[in-house]
Amino acid sequence: MRRAEHLAERRRRALVLILCTVLCALITVLRFAVANPVESIGFLYTIPVAMIAVEFGAGAGIGAALATLGLTVMWAETRDVPLGLVGYAARASTLAAIGGIVGTLAKQRERVEQDRRRWFSMSNDLLSVANFDGRYTHVNEAWTTLLGYSRAELLGRAYTDFVHPDDVERTNEEAAALGAGPHVLVNFENRYRAADGSWCWLLWSARSDSEQIYAVAKDITERKRLEQEREELVARLEQAVRRDPLTGLANRRAWDDQFAVELRRAARSGEPLSLVMIDLDNLKTVNDQQGHQAGDRLLRGSAAAWRECIRETDFIARIGGDEFAILLPDCAPEEAQRVLGRMAEGMRDRHSFSAGVALWDGEEPSTELVRRADEALYAAKASGRGCVRVSAATLLPHSGRSSVG
């Protein structure tokens, strides 16, 4: 790439020299062809002098000025035109000033341009310039290094060709804001397809003027990966602290949170909410006679069977050693009894359980609801276990529906 640019620069300079030589020759011929010495044809030499100064610098511009001054002296001596010291000095100082000033300004501008190009090419960030039609007009080498694209693959193409389908709409909205007028965009994230087909997360900052959009992007794929891993870890940890490790059911902490949620939901909707308290019968006897491993197997098997019998909207938790609780939204006690019947069938006669059911009255504190469900559970256990008892009848003020007693 650099060799090609160097060859192009050499060709351009050679063409400038040839063109300036031709111009000087034409101006000289014209000067000799016009008889009137007053005609300021000689000042046309400022054109090739300025061209030389722009391309080769102030020194070359001054040298070209002196060369054209020599042509002027030759014309004056040949045509016997008395320019005098002042005339020669004026022409010399004008041409030299043009060559020096133009060359100096051109070199300063070239240095600024070189610095800009050097920064543009050496930046590790993805730098780009785009038009308001949504197409890249200039990109730096980082696009090749980070994403694997060549300049030819990027230039002239719509940048949305590379954006993830889920991010196209947001990208177009931001691009429209940049295209509507001078606008600044910061910390915008989207996904870009790399040359190998993978997706990279980019963090964009951009600014627009009345002509173009200037943008810089950082590759934040690794940061996004770490963020996702951290979120997944937090979710796993959160789930772990809300799950009973033996049965996989919700634990007491999760139960307390969900209990409050369901009470608020029932209060808003006016639908019935039944609470069921369950005890596995004689778990202590199983542990004492068969060992704690057998008791653990019973707990795990019971939890797995019960999960298959309740609805998706129901919530079951292990809140103690052999104690379980179930929230049954939009479920009156008679319906709760049918659910418990399915749960008993799901045990396949392996073991029995006792249960107490209480229907929330729509106003009582949660502690009172739990107390009534516990009383019903104790009544079931006192009746010989393996049965269900329902607390005293209550009326739901919001729905007008009553429980069974």
> Which residues are tagged catalytic?
322
Rounded-to-integer distance, Cα 131 and Cα 89, Å: 50
Cβ neighbourhood burial of 328 (10 Å; 0-12, 13-18, 19+): buried
Q: How many CA atoms lie within 13 A of 143 on its CB side?
A: 22
- Alpha helices by DSSP H, listed for 292-382, are 292-309, 333-346, 366-382
Nearest to 298 by CA among 317, 284, 310: 284
Rounded-to-integer distance, Cα 54 and Cα 35, Å: 32
Give whole-number Cα distances, 42 to 37, 71, 82, 101, 334, in Å.
10, 9, 15, 19, 114
Sign of the torsion formed by the C-alpha atoms of 145, 205, 123 and 136: positive
The torsion defined by the Cα of 341, 342, 343 and 344, in degrees rounded to 10, comes to: 50
Residue 49 near residue 23, CB atoms below 8 Å: no
Instruction: Give me the amino acid identity at 101.
Output: I
Residue 334 near residue 269, CB atoms below 8 Å: no
Rounded-to-integer distance, Cα 215 and Cα 206, Å: 4
Cβ neighbourhood burial of 360 (10 Å; 0-12, 13-18, 19+): buried
